[in-house]
Amino acid sequence: MKNMQKKVVAFLCNWCSYAGADLAGVSRFQYPPHIRIIRIPCSGRVDPLFIFNALKYADGVLVAGCHPGDCHYTSGNLVARRKFALIKSLLDFIGLEEGRVQFDWISAAEGNKFAEVATKVAGEIDNLPQWDGWGERK
Amino acid sequence: MTVLENIKAKAKELLEAKEVEVVIGFAQGTLPGKCTPYFARTTEEVERFVWQDGCNLNLANYLSKFSGKVGIIAKGCDTRSIINLIKENQVNRERIYIIGANCPSMGSCHNCRHPQGVIADFYAEQVQLNNQDDFSDVEAFEELLSEERKNYFYQEMSKCIRCYACRNVCPACYCKECFVEENLPCWLGKTTDLADNIIFHLTRTMHVAGRCIDCGACVRACPMEVNLSLLNRKLLKDIQELFNTEPGLSLEAEPVLNEYKEDDPQPFLIGGEESV
């Protein structure tokens, strides 16, 4: 278990961040293989349960959506923003490491930013202590 | 007249005038110091009402069980739950008559800020109380090292037997279909493994965030004495700090997670608040 490749689940919004990841791909920007992308219709679709459940199996979670003001559905990411602030704070409260769950805004034009963020998140999670999968992994 | 006499007089008046079909209140429980919810349909039954220490259950939960007009004896947390239920179209304001009274179990809830009713059609007592909630319990926990916090949290979560009493008793948890029972897709493991317990409680906390008014019903219902209010109160504190609002105080204000502002804080971003 110890030397296995760490996994990071990335929930990317269809309209911006997923296209940003796509652009990173076609632009041949390198980013670490930790990232497992799940395409979601909007960052507003991210139920807190998705994040908590992903941590049962993965070592980290990245959530990315359109920049505020650019949402395909006008306000999906703005409503999600309040929720994200609470999720992040709650996870910190119960003793999760700072870098375990991360959020960012990545537009469809920011292929380079996606590669940077993915590299940064993967690097931070590599440096964190072994994740216990909510106490299920020994 | 005492508060209880005021309550009884009003309840009788409502029932005699056939303004309501039932008045929801408390009667003496079978254990000393405990009171049980009581549904008075006649003026004789009204005599069984009590208003004393131990009347701490949240009665707002019972409103949806009746189709006709209902009277309810409501303390602070009951009225705040009723406000939320009205706003979320679970209860029709026209269909309920609220008899407001100060919470008789003063001191049982940590720093309760709203012991008196927030809305009422009739106040059985006029005394206004003003308490301050300093969230000192949450702050004390925040001061601990992250390992200590995690160890305590895991230990609390491992106590849960997944009876769902906390959900059943919660006035904010009125969904007919709850994610915990969904099978297709199976959102949540049904076992009492630590991971499933943690995912259940974190998700539950987020589901009631911005609607939870810290009535403490979940804590009192829990047979395993899991410290659920720590999570709920943490989010109440955050909501106050980040969005400067408190749930269940007005019929007009949107629930905090249902609305947004252009300049909401975003401390969760990778590069911090200013990175956009």
Q: What is the pLDDT of residues A88-107, one digit of tens each?
A: 999 999 999 999 999 999 99
Does residue A49 lie in a domain region?
yes
Task: Please tell me the total count of domains within chain A.
Answer: 1
pTM score, whole prediction: 0.93
Taking residues A31-59, report their average pLDDT.
95
Which of A114, A134, A137, A138 is most worth mutating to test chain B (most B CB atoms within 10 A of its CB)?
A134
The verdict on a CB contact (< 8 Å) between A95 and B209 is no
Interfacial B residues in 86-145 facing A (CB < 8 Å) = 141-142
User: How high is the pLDDT of residue B125?
Assistant: 80
| Average pLDDT score over residue span A35-57 | 95
The tokens describing B155, both together, are 């230990």
pLDDT at residue A30 tops 80 = yes
Confidence (pLDDT) at B259: 92
- Over the stretch A51-74, which tens digit does the pLDDT of each residue have? 999 999 999 999 999 999 999 999
Of B151, B194, B239, Cβ closest to residue A134: B194
**Structural domain includes residue A117:** yes
Query: Within an 8 Å CB–CB cutoff, is residue A75 touching chain B?
Result: yes
- Tell me if the bond preceding A33 is cis, omega within 30° of 0: no
A93/B150 CB distance under 8 A:
no
pLDDT (0 to 100) of residue B130: 65
Q: Does A104 touch chain B (CB under 8 A)?
A: yes
In Å, how far is A131's CA from the nearest CA of chain B?
12
The answer to whether the Cβ–Cβ distance between A95 and B147 falls below 8 Å is yes
Mean pLDDT by 10 residues, chain B (276 residues): 90 94 94 90 94 90 91 93 94 94 76 82 78 84 95 96 94 92 89 95 95 91 94 94 92 91 90 67
Give chain A's mean pLDDT. 94
Q: What's A101's domain CATH number?
A: 3.40.50.960
3-state secondary structure string across chain B? CCHHHHHHHHHHHHHHCCCCCEEEEEEECCCCCCEEEEEECCHHHHCCECCCCCCCCCHHHHHHHCCCCEEEEECHHHHHHHHHHHHCCCCCHHHEEEEECCCCCCCCCCCCCCCCCCCCCEECCCCCCCCCCCCHHHHHHHCCCHHHHHHHHHHHHHCCCCCCHHHHHCCCCCCCCCCCCCCCCCCCCCCCCHHHHHHHHHHHHHHCCCCCCCCCHHHHHCCCCCCCHHHHHHHHHHHHHHHCCCCCCCCCCCCHHHCCCCCCCCCCECCCCCCC
Interchain CB distance below 8 Å, A94 and B153: yes
Local confidence band at A23 (pLDDT 50, 70, 90 cut-offs): very high
Inside any domain, residue A57: yes
Asked if B256 reaches chain A (Cβ–Cβ under 8 Å), the answer is: yes
Name every chain B residue with its beta carbon within 8 A of the beta carbon of A110: none
Q: Which residue has the tokens 């689940």?
A: A9
CB contact under 8 A, B150 and A88: no
Give me the phi and psi of B38, to 5 degrees please. Answer: -135, 140
Radius of gyration of chain A, Cα coordinates, nearest whole angstrom: 14
Q: Does A16 touch chain B (CB under 8 A)?
A: no
Nearest chain B residue to A52 by CA distance is B199
Inside any domain, residue A88: yes
Predicted local confidence at residue B115, as pLDDT: 83
Of residues A52, A69, A120, nearest to B203 (C-beta): A52
* Inter-chain CB proximity B276 and A88 less than 8 Å: no
SS3 state at A133: coil
Q: Domain residues of chain B, as ranges? A: 3-123, 136-256
